Homo-oligomer: A and B are copies of this chain.
Amino acid sequence: MSDAPVETVLPQANIEVIRSLRHFVVENIRTARRFLKRCDRSIDIDSLTFVTLDEHTRPEDIPAMLSPMEAGESVGVISEAGCPAVADPGADLVAVAQQRGYEVIPMVGPSSIILSLMASGFNGQTFAFNGYLPHDSKARSAKLKEMERRIRAERQTQIFIETPYRNNRLIAELAAALPPAMKLCVASDITGPAQSVVTLPLSAWRQRKYDYDKIPSIFLLYS
């Protein structure tokens, strides 16, 4: 799911799949219903079932979400900002589906991880997505050191995210803590109207004016 116009981010075939589904597991019911309406105005939302799967869901409540499968019906999974199960809820549900031997069909859609990597100019032969950096300052600086090591020793591009209101602080921190020649790519508002992907050495970020606060951004490091 994404706020961008559906035809800019999803293949037409996804809409056909959506039309064929009656049961949805979603991160947020209100926005999922709105998204489905945007996919197909004629969709009869009230004939569909919705169950919430988010970070507050108890693991023991997940298996029952697949009960339509027992009756031979499919279940669609929709998450808020990216691809379900990739830095977004869904993986636990898919794990249960795999354990039961159900067919799992991933749908093509925008992943800010892959889109930012494509546009960064960094190594795409090996890369790691690290999620959020640790908050604790000791663990955080150990993580930065380890990412620096993997960039050098393995040529592995390192990708991570930050709570959006801390984006500017993170860039300043990276510029202070890591070698000036190391490159940082900041990819912000991916698939949104203000999309930008900028790769520069940390020495240049140190001098540059920027304001990414509150804009969903993803960060990539490479030498």
Q: Interface of A with B (CB < 8 Å)?
A: 5, 7-13, 83-88, 90-92, 94-99, 103-106, 108-111, 113-131, 156, 185, 190-191, 195-200
Cβ-defined contact, A118 with B11, below 8 A:
no
Of A95, A117, A122, A190, chain B has the most CB atoms within 10 Å of the CB of A117
B113 & A83 in contact (Cβ 8 Å cutoff): no
With A84-B118, A106-B115, A111-B111 already in contact, the answer to whether A11 and B13 are too (CB < 8 A) is no
Cα distance A131–B109 in the bound complex, in angstroms: 22
* Chain B residues closer than 8 Å to A198, beta-carbon distance: 98
CB distance from A24 to the nearest CB of B (A): 16
Distance in Å: Cβ of A35 to nearest Cβ of chain B: 15
Main secondary structure of the interface of A (DSSP, over half): mixed
Give Cα distance in the complex from A118 to B97, angstroms: 12
Check if B131 sits within 8 Å of A126, measured CB to CB. yes
Stoichiometry, as copies per complex, reads: 2
- With both chains docked as a complex, state the minimum distance between the C-beta of A101 and any C-beta of chain B, in angstroms: 9
Besides A106-B190, A113-B114, 10 other A-B contacts (C-beta < 8 A): A86-B114, A95-B199, A97-B121, A98-B120, A98-B198, A99-B199, A105-B195, A106-B119, A108-B108, A114-B114
Residue of B at shortest CB range from A77? Answer: B118
Other-chain contact of A131, B98, B125, B199 (Cβ < 8 Å): B125
Contact B115 A95 (CB under 8 A): no
Contact B104 A197 (CB under 8 A): yes
CB distance from A63 to the nearest CB of B (A): 13
Q: In angstroms, how far is the closest chain B Cβ from the Cβ of A93?
A: 8
B-chain residues with CB within 8 Å of residue A111 when the two chains form the complex: 111, 114
**Given A8-B11, A128-B127, A156-B128, A116–B106 Cβ distance below 8 Å?**
yes
Distance to closest chain B CB from A105 (angstroms):
7
Determine the chain B residues whose CB is within 8 A of the CB of A13 once the complex forms: 5, 7-9
What is the CA–CA distance of A191 and B119 in the complex, to the nearest angstrom?
23
